[in-house]
Structures are given as C-alpha cells and as structure tokens.
Amino acid sequence: MIIKPKVRGFVCVTAHPTGCAAHVQQQIDHVKSKGPIVHGPKKVLVIGASTGFGLGSRIAAAFGSGAGTLGVFFERPSEEGRPATPGWYNTIAFTHAARAAGLYAQNINGDAFSDEIKRQVIETIKRDLGQVDLVVYSLASPRRQHPRTGAVHKSTLQPIGAPYTNKTVDTDKGVVSDVTIPPADEAGIADTVAVMGGEDWEMWMQALLDAKLLAPGATAVSYSYIGPSHTWPIYKDGTIGRAKVDLERAAKAINAKLKQAVGGRAFISVNKALVTQASSAIPVVPLYISILYKVMKAKGLHEATAEQMQRLFATQLYSGAAPKLDGEGRIRVDDWEMRDDVQAEVARIWPQVTTENLAQLTDIAGYRTEFLKMFGFGLPGINYETEVEPHVPMP
C-alpha cells in the first residue's frame, strides 16, 4: 500500500516502515560518528524502548558502547489495511541493525506495568544475559492498570489549583490561539502520579534485585523535564510535575537500595525539550519548542534525541568520572536549553508570536519536520509515492 501521513490533532495515525527504518539509521549513524563510549554499559534493559528517549538510549548503548540490549515496549503490529505503530517499525529496524553488528538485541512487547511482562523480562535476562548493568526507565503512557489493585489510572495534562491560560499552536494548521485548561481535582492528580510517577520504576528495580539480575555497580536512570516558567503551570507545577516529583522520590529510594545491594546508583536525567509523542500532547509546549528550536539552531546548540542521549551517556553516565549533579541530585542535559541567553531570547519572542508571523518568529517548519520523522515521513532518499509492505514481522 501507499502510506501517507494522516495527522489528527497531536498524533499521526499512520507510520511508514521504510521511513522509520531510515530515521533509526540516522540516529545510529550519529552515535557511531561520535566514537566509542569507552566506559559504557554492556548489558542493558530499556523499559519503554521503541520511541523517544528510550529508543535513543538503546541506540546510544548499543552503537556507542557495544551493549547487548533487551527492549520492552507496548506497540501495535500492522493490521489489515492499517500500518503498525512507529515504535513497532523502529524496533524492527534497530534489531536488524544491532544483530548485523553482532550485538544481542531482544524484544518483549506488552504492558510494562504488568507483573507478567516483568516475569518475562526476568526469565529472558536469566537465560540470555545473566545480569544487566544499566536499566533505563522511559515509559510514557496515558494509562496504567495497577498490577496489585487492578485499578485503571488515567493521567491528565492539567494545572493544579487554578485554570491556566496561555498561547498554544495547532501545529497542523499553524493557528496560534489562547487555550484555557481547567485545574485537576485530587483524583486526577493522584491518577497522574500513579501512571507517571515512580512506583512502577521501583517495582521493576525491586523485581530485578530480588532475582539478583543487577550486576555489581549497576546504574538505573529515568528521565524528567523542568523547562522554563512559560510552561510551569501545565508542566512543572501541574499534574505531570507532581508525577515527576514522585519519580525523583523513587530515584532517591532506588539509589539507596542499589548502593547497598550492588554498589550501584540511580539518577534522574533532566532532558531538553524535544518533539516526542508525549510532548506533542501537552498544550503550550509545542509553541515553546518551536521558538526554542529557532533560538538554539541559531546559536548552534540544537540537539535531537540521539544527540541528547549520546551526550548523556558519554559526558555524564559513563565519562569515567562522577556525573555533575544539580542541587537536587539530578543530571542536567537541559543545560544548553536553560542557558540564560537562550531563555532570554525565547522570552523576547514569546509575546510577539501570532498566526500571521508564526513561520518567521518560530521554527514551526522544523517542529513539523521532526514530528513527521517520528512516524517515518519526510526522510531523504525515500519515494513515498511507491507501494510499501505494512506487514513487517518482528525479528
């Protein structure tokens, strides 16, 4: 079938298998171009491995330090007349590339919140790897069925305490408008923490510890975002921010357990704002990213996902020295984004943006390009007018 992008709101409901493979190869090529990460991990579990920071982490580990990787994700294979999700195609492309390079690459597709998937992962590590020396926790899900209570929790993207009004952009139509988001109630806050907080990460790490599958000195890392004051009411001070506070609580608890049990360590890495499926869903944030991209590109500071994860691994987690931490004990690879000169320029542009001058004052074109690339569209060297087979089996 001929597969074209079909964008509905903040998601594209189609994905191109050849394009996704090309996008993965771009990221692999970047990591390889930076040279080996000498002190990097060798046996890695990535929870949430098929897109975004999780996929970037898997690529950095495999092609930066020659690691064998086990990836966990929840993706939909292709169906009759319907392509698979991009994460399905991404994982297939990664797996072929890793195995061609002589690297172990295995995958488990299912609900990472469930006890059953944790059991499958434990069995696979025991059989194939023995132990892992890095666990990357990079889940981004709108819902979670709690494995103990059976309750289904759904996360919300809302402020806390009062409604929030600010500019946003319809990235598909290019219309800038004000959006008002009502505040979450206590149940909504609790549900968001249950989905996006640290409890499931703690469950994963405890299960791995109990099974003695963490190598001496093992590292665990999860990802967060803080951003500028423009986005705080909907992010840092909103329901997501409350979940991220719980994630940081979990990191401290996991760090203490790992230190005692295996001489290990756990970190939160605060990453740069990037176009991801998760960030595209948050009101206000796509407009901020569009401005940020223009500013950072002009200053030669822009990084995409693979660049960000390669830098995290090479200069922080596995530099041969202890990571540089902020006052809260977090790694900051949002340091270039949060530079004073970058944020001052973003703040100068922000109030000026309208529908009419969007293309001039922001990098909305770059945002759209990155958005479509997540789904395998707009990659150079691919003829999107030709037929492509959507049914691609997982190797």
Reading the block at residue 159, the tokens are: 């402020």
pLDDT at 283: 82
In CATH terms, the fold of domain 7-143+189-284+302-335 is Rossmann fold (3.40.50)
Is 235 among the residues known to form the active site? yes
Least confident among 1-15, 118-132, 136-150: 1-15
pLDDT at 33: 98
The owner of tokens 């990079």 is 138
* pLDDT per position as a tens digit, 145-190: 999 999 999 999 899 999 999 999 988 888 999 999 999 999 999 9
64-87 average pLDDT score: 94
Annotated catalytic residue within 137, 164, 235, 288: 235
Whether the CB-CB separation of 46 and 81 falls below 8 Å is answered with no
> Is residue 106 scored above 90 in pLDDT?
yes
pLDDT at 119: 98
Which sequence spans correspond to the domains of the chain?
A: 7-143+189-284+302-335
**CA atoms within 13 A of residue 52's CA, in its CB half-sphere:** 23
Average pLDDT, the chain: 95
Which has the higher per-residue pLDDT, 172 or 137?
A: 137
* pLDDT per position as a tens digit, 201-243: 999 999 999 999 999 999 999 999 998 887 888 888 999 999 9
Reading the block at residue 291, the tokens are: 């401005």
